[in-house]
Structure 1
């Protein structure tokens, strides 16, 4: 549980609606009351008894006796303590179901995380890429031009390749490439 102040009330209700998958058009849990605030419109049952020893039956009777609706002002100036604040404070004593994670599922999650990190690392470290085999296409200015065997035909590009190799060799005569 947590306390909600007036500045974050709209965001908190929006988050609550998302978690409950509650629509604003036809709500099942939280209804917006114009110029007043919000109203809880669903039935509420306590899953675990209070720590003080109250039973589940006594709590259900108390819930049936009182109205379950909670109205909150939407004005930014509030002189009274909001009923939601006390309601949220009461639920702090009940243990959260979402926070109770079994140790077995924690270990399973840790193992999956380690595997998710180790598998790609093993693939990168322990596999060698296949070496490409090349075929010689042409020789320009004593510079062989090679292409991978599985590469498509470059015969239309031969004039452009020849021009590039010759210009490069002319501009960089001392550092001419051994092969391209």
Structure 2
């Protein structure tokens, strides 16, 4: 709000006074300033002391405060100058932490793949059909009940793929 921008207190106002059931009344003097003029700051201070008495007269006059507000609002807008905020330099200490975490999260799986070898599985032969050995892992449970089905699959494969090469081995 205007009061916050001017840092004006409600208990002892310097710029804007609240008038009950009417609205607000401007109690300070307002002058147009040239934004490129450097001498304007000293002129404003001198003219502010000269115009304090008329501001008090406005407060004591019998004219409705709405007229004062409408007269002064047009002059009030040019006085407000936008404050230029300087961009803060980005702190490098905060930016490096997410980058390091991402780098490590990508590096860890690559290291696992490069520096670990999978355990070699050992197989045992449980049968040979059509000169194709049938192997099963050592830690695998017995599959003797499935041997007739495995034999049937190998025979059909060899029959339908006679011109292709035979399988080297079957792991069941």
TMscore range, shorter length: 0.3 to 0.5
Larger radius of gyration: 2
TM-score, normalised to structure 2's length? 0.45
TM-score, normalised to structure 1's length? 0.43
